[in-house]
Structure 1
Amino acid sequence: MGESRALRRAGWAGAASIVLLVAGVVLGYLVGVDEPGMSDAAILERLNDDARQAAAGFAPPVLAAGVAMLLWFATGLRWVLDRLSGGDPLAHAIVPAAAMFGGLIITGVSLDVGSAFAAWSDEFTADPDTVRALGMSGQVLALTGLIGCGVLVAVTTRIAQQAGALPSWAVWVSYAVAVLCLTGFWSGGMASVVFALWLIGAVIGVLRAARRRSPAPPIPS
């Protein structure tokens, strides 16, 4: 019963991570600069908008909570993969891969919103070129973090394939998701969306595994 409850909680943590990560990225985007061709006037308007600054201030803590939930989910997913594979060492890559993604996305978004935080203090005069450089640096870091997502997807798919736990179509779709994440820098936001959809499927898989671990109710005599 304890294992079933722990798995169920890990599954719901994964669901919460999707919501929190999306919310954190959206909040950061309110003041972020992800297009180097954005005009100077548009950049300064975004940075000096009090409402945008206040909303963006929630981006780092929301993202941090999302990453924490993702790591919780990753521990549950690793447990499921350990049972499927009989202890394949490949499953050990799951949690570090999730941590890599989480660390880089938090760093990337923090760089993107850092100028807005500085402008909020009224002691910093934003330079549009500096803001562009920080924004693009943040975008590069965040997209590089998708490599961790690619590893997470590939490892999960490989172990599930060897255990015969997935139909053939799901295996090949998952491998396609892994490739897209590994090349996420060139695919832009598409890889992020596809990974989020895959993660929803993984959450459902962990919750089903938790249900299978639940003991059957006793039959009354």
Structure 2
Amino acid sequence: MDESRALRRAGWAGAGSIALLVAAVALGYLVGVDDPSMSDSDILARLNDDGRQAAAGAGLPVLAAGVALLLWFATGLRQVLDRLSGGDPLTHVIVPAAALFCGLMITGVSLDTGSAFAAWSDEFTADPNTVRALGMAGQVVALTGLIGCGVVVAVTTRITQQAHVLPRWAVWLSYVVAALCLSGFWSGGMASAAFALWLVGAVIGVLRAARHTAPDAARTPPTLG
């Protein structure tokens, strides 16, 4: 497979990962408990609702597919950055950092939805306080995984800044996104939304790099902008 086609497929994998991850989070939210002030009756109603249990069951496979596509995209992003930087070793952290985010996100969502799966068996009597604790633990773990996203954003921004392929405003905006992600749990949903928007831009950048990667790629450097 030629390099242009590989990058194009990695870019579309990134686009697919955004859609699947958003869908998985939405499905998990239907049954997860991330608000400790929710009443006991509301918690039990969520856990024992057949429709919400089905949503949780569908959410984990969707999440797994989204994670796989995100890791595929990370390999393509690393390839683009490697060419832009001339082989900077800093690019080696891209895939492990993405894997950190993916692993902690899966763990967090599993903790949050585990009680619903147990209730599905009709052999589990949920304790609302335990469900609250698991829900908050899942939220903390998943949001802490944003540290991996922060590393991806920071490394990408640094290399593209050195290569002068992004406007100054985009560089500093990316650094803001990296700072939000690196604050992990404390930045909450704001960091998640910021990373999702940044990821859209990164996908576009990889697809553009694929378009500019000709058979004589040695004479045609990739660009993200």
TM-score (norm 2): 0.94
SS at 1:191 equivalent: helix
What's 2:76 paired with?
76
1:181-206 CA-to-partner distances (Å, cap 9, x unmatched) read 11131121111001000000000000
For 1:46-195, list aligned pairs within 5 A. Answer: 46-195=46-195
What's 1:19 paired with?
19
Aligned-residue offset at 1:60: 1.3
1:75-124 CA-to-partner distances (Å, cap 9, x unmatched) read 00000000000000000000000000000000000000000000000000
What's 2:204 paired with?
204
- Counterparts of 1:167 and 1:12, CA distance in 2: 24
- Counterparts of 2:2 and 2:187, CA distance in 1: 41
- Counterparts of 1:175 and 1:189, CA distance in 2: 17
TM-score (norm 1): 0.96
- Counterparts of 1:143 and 1:179, CA distance in 2: 14
Count matched residues: 216
- Counterparts of 2:39 and 2:27, CA distance in 1: 21
Aligned-residue offset at 1:215: 4.5
- Counterparts of 1:214 and 1:191, CA distance in 2: 36
Percent of aligned positions that are identical:
81
User: Structure 2: which 5+ residue stretches go unaligned?
Assistant: 217-225
SS at 1:188 equivalent: helix
> Could you tell me which amino acid in structure 2 is paired with residue 85 of structure 1?
S
1:113-136 CA-to-partner distances (Å, cap 9, x unmatched) read 000000000000000000000000
> Could you tell me which amino acid in structure 1 is paired with residue 78 of structure 2?
R
> Could you tell me which amino acid in structure 1 is paired with residue 152 of structure 2?
L
SS at 1:82 equivalent: helix
User: Structure 1: which 5+ residue stretches go unaligned?
Assistant: 217-221
What's 1:41 paired with?
41
> Could you tell me which amino acid in structure 1 is paired with residue 144 of structure 2?
T
What's 2:220 paired with?
none
Aligned-residue offset at 1:61: 1.1
- Counterparts of 1:91 and 1:78, CA distance in 2: 6
